[in-house]
Each structure stands twice: as C-alpha cells, then as structure tokens.
Structure 1
Amino acid sequence: MSRILLLGGTGDALQIARKLTALDVYSVAGLGRTPVGLACAVRVGGFGGEEGLAQYLHTEGVALLIDATHPYAARISANAAAASRAAGVPCWALRRPGWDAQPDDDWRWVDDWAGVRAAIAPFARPFFTLGREALEHLDEIPAHQHWTVRCLDAHPGNARATVIDARGPFSVDSERALFAENAFDVVISKHSGGSATQAKLEVARERGVPVIMVRRPVLPAVERMFAGADELLAALQSDAPRA
C-alpha cells in the first residue's frame, strides 16, 4: 500500500519525488510532461475534489500527504488540507517564498486578470508568463498590442499573439535574447518564487521594463510547512510518518 502521496507538477515536487520509494505515489495533473524514471508510482489526473482525495487517502493507506503544487494552485491546496483532516492523515506543504524586489525593480501589484488588463493597457508588447490563463483571452487583444505568451501549451496564437511553449529553467542570456528580439515593454508574472523563472526579472530590471506582478492566493495552514524541497526532504528522512 502507498505510504506517501505527493501532489506535484513543479520542479520542487520532482526533486522530492526522486527520493520516494516504490511504495509511494507522485500525483500530477497531466498538463505537462509526465515524469519517467522514478522509483515511485506516478498517478496522472485528479481525485474528484476534496471528498475523492480523502477517500483515496483512506483506501490506499496513505500515511502522509505532501502538497508540493504550484503556489497559485489554491484549489488543490485547499482540497489537500481539507482531505487530510477528513481522512486523519497529516499534510505537509511546500510553501516556497516569493521573490524579493530589488531597488531598481518596477513591480506593479495586481490581484487578478481584471487587474492585469487594466495595468497593461498603456503598453504595446506585453510578455505574459502566467501559464495558460492568457490563452483564454487572445481574442480580446486591443489593436495597439501584440502579446507574447509563454506557457507549457503548444498553441497557434493569432495575428496579434505569439505563443511560446517552453519549460524552465531559463537562463539570463536566453531571456536577454528573447527580450531583445521581441522588444517587450512590460512583463506579466506570478509571484512564484524559485530560480527556474527568475531570469526574466533580472532582464526586466536591466532593461527598465516594468513587471505586473499578480499577488499570491492565501493558502491553508497544514501540520507542517517548508520553504524549500531540501528542508522537506530532510524532514522526510528524520520523522515522516509511515503506515
């Protein structure tokens, strides 16, 4: 029976998954590439919400639930916390910190898509790094703008939008070349933290390009929370519950 269920889909989660055993399960949504070469089992797809996840924890004999999903996966994190309580299974969560603004950064904070649209109105060449959300609005692009959207989805874009399907980490040099080629005048980003996509912020700072930063959602408290994968892995070695 499974001992640990890891909810992932991030680079940090994959780092943790590489340390799991054949008894454990790594769960991904299936939106990106499915990881291979892991000792643990890999489960693709959802659980059916809070109740479905709680039932899975019970029937599969899970002793520890680890939430290492994206900082903006608020619904999944809420379901994980609620399901763990319902099933009587402890939940640990990776809550990596966001980035710290530097003196030369021009960050402009918004809460949602409506805030993004209002903030980018004066600009002509926005660079979206929010994931797939912008793809839902490609038919709304105003005449004075051309969007570049970077996400995991291959998409044809349209006459006013270029879609780049790519997965980080991205280097500073590659980001410099991308900014220069496309003449971005504003970047739209989640406050995700981590090193994989930080280079865009360094290049925006160098070029004096403002960043529209979407605030993080509030995530639920769980039994234990960790700032990084290494910290969580150390705890797994020392005191993780095993059924």
Structure 2
Amino acid sequence: MKMKRILLLGGTGDALRIARQLGPEHVYSLAGLGKVPDDLACTVRVGGFGGSEGMARYIVDEGIDLVIDATHPYAAQISANAAQASRAARVPYWALHRPAWQPQAGDDWRMVGDWDELTDALAPFRKPLFTLGREPLAHLYEIPPHQFWVVRCLEAHEDTARARILAARGPFTLEGERALFALQAFDVLVSKNSGGQATEAKLEVARERGLPVVMLRRPELPAAEREFENVADLLDALQVAD
C-alpha cells in the first residue's frame, strides 16, 4: 500500500511533529486557531471543510489516499466528521489517541462531564485556574461574586473586574508553573484530560500544593482503522505503508 497523498488533521504539537515528516504532496490541515507554521515542506491548509460532506468532497477532489486525525482529544466533532468523511470517500482513517493522564495516589480529581457540572464543582472555591482553552471566555460575566477567575488560553482577551486572562502557549515547564501557582495563589485547577507532556506540569504543581483538580472527562471518539498512542509508532506505520 503506497500513500500518494495524506490529509493530516492537526493543531497539536504531536500533529506538527508528523507534519514535519511529510513532503509537498501531502496536506496539513488546521482550523485556524493559534499560530500557523510557515516552515513545513507539506502544503498547509487553514479553515474548515463544511462538515463531513465538505471534507468528503475535499478528499475525493484532492486525491487523498489516507486521513490521519491528530487533532486534540477534545475536538470530538472534527474527529466525527473525519471518520464519516473517510468512510464516504472510501479512504483509510487513522487516529492518534494519546493516553489520558491518570490520577496518582493522593490526587483529588473531581470528574465532570459538561460546563454545568463544572461550575457546580467549582462552587466551594474562590480562585480557580482554568486551562480549558477559550470556552471560559464565553462565561466571564457569569462569575459568582465570591470568585475571581484566571483563564489561560491561546487568545489574548481583555481582563474583567472578576477575571484575568493569560494568553500563553505550551509547553509549560515545572518551574514556570510553580512560579505561576505561587504568585496567583489558586485554590483549584480546572483542566481537560489532554494527556501528553506539554501541559502536564500543572498537575504536578497542583499535587505538590495539595490542590484539587476539576477534570473535564474526555469525549467519546470514533473508531479508526488504525489507532496509535504515540507519534513514533504512527510514523513507523507510514514508513511501512510507503
């Protein structure tokens, strides 16, 4: 099996590692959030496809032979569209599913499934650090009177009377996270269970400081013809495919 043209769905550090190994005949697709790399040999495509039907048309029109889904574990809609589009276009669908973080002895993880459960879990706390991406920005004027939020995300945003927005991109070091937690005196961490090493240091610091973690459960993702837990195994499979 020789893959003449790959469509790589990315936006993560893992996806960028894969993209750096692809030649000009392949396509690296980004939603358009965050920094767009300008140093890749492959084609970089920015923007949506118009749902699964639009993606299926793109796959057929562009002669794509393989779709690789290396999007964020919480990009469930994109993954669902990719799986459906691949079936419709009759091309293989591979997925990179990095392992979720696991609580360690003594960790106080409070699992929630959606925003309502999350805000209920935060009710006893005064100063949470949100590391969910941009979603909390839509709720800055719903902050309870006893709380002050710190929201870390990619996009810059004006602070409000009850929230500070930190525009930052990982990876984050253990020393940097320790300094941030000490300066801001958070009493709870809010996180997605993204897995990987780029943002794991915050969990270590929460552990050191004895802070609870309100953890958003991972969404259910579609099955793929081949699933990989790390970039190295996926790249090895591509070498065999070639």
* Displaced runs of 4 or more, over 2 A: none
Distance 1:104 1:229 in 2: 31
What is aligned with 2:95? 93
User: 5+ residue gaps in structure 2?
Assistant: none
Find 2:11's aligned residue among 9, 12, 18.
9
Match of 1:117 in 2: 119
What's the offset of the Cα at 1:239? 1.6
1:32-111 counterparts in 2 under 5 A? 32-111=34-113
- Residue aligned with 2:165, SS: strand
Where does 1:117-136 land on structure 2 (aligned, <5 Å)?
117-136=119-138
Q: TM-score, length-normalised on structure 1? A: 0.97
In the TM superposition, what whole-angstrom CA distance separates every residue of 1:76-115 from its partner, at most 9, and x where no partner exists? 0000000000000101000111011110211010001001
Identity %: 65
| Paired position in structure 2 for 1:222 | 224
Alpha-carbon contact 1:4-1:66 (below 8 Å) kept: yes
Q: Distance in 2 between matches of 1:182 and 1:19?
A: 40
Q: Please show how residues 158-197 of structure 1 align to structure 2 within 5 Å.
A: 158-197=160-199
1: CA distance between counterparts of 2:97 and 2:42?
23
Q: CA deviation at 1:39?
A: 0.4
Alpha-carbon separation, structure 2, partners of 1:230 and 1:165: 30
CA distance in 1, matches of 2:125, 2:22: 46
1 CA distance for matches of 2:240 and 2:165?
A: 44
Q: Deviations over 1:19-77 (max 9, x none)?
A: 00000000001110001100001000000000000000000000000000000000000
Match of residue 28 from structure 1: 30
2:150 pairs, out of 145, 148, 151, with 148
Residues of 2 paired with 1:113 and 1:195: CA distance? 25
Q: Which amino acid aligns with 1:104?
A: G
Partner SS for 2:146:
coil
Q: Is the contact made by 1:92 and 1:224 (CA closer than 8 Å) also made in structure 2? A: yes
> What RMSD over aligned residues (CA atoms) do the two structures have, in Å?
1.0
Give the aligned residue type for 1:70: H
Q: Distance in 1 between matches of 2:167 and 2:237?
A: 35
Equivalent-residue separation in structure 1 for 2:84 and 2:159 (angstroms):
38
Secondary structure at 1:149 match in 2: strand
Partner Cα separation in structure 2 for residue 21 and residue 44 of structure 1: 17
Task: Give the Å deviation of 1:157.
Answer: 2.1
Q: What is aligned with 1:236? A: 238
- Given residue 158 of structure 2, which amino acid in structure 1 is its aligned partner? P
Q: Report if aligned partners of 1:138, 1:157 keep a CA contact under 8 Å in 2.
A: no
Distance 1:234 1:20 in 2: 13
TM (norm. structure 2) is 0.98
**Unpaired runs of 5+ in structure 1?**
none
SS of aligned partner of 1:162: strand
**C-alpha deviation, 1:8, in angstroms:** 0.3
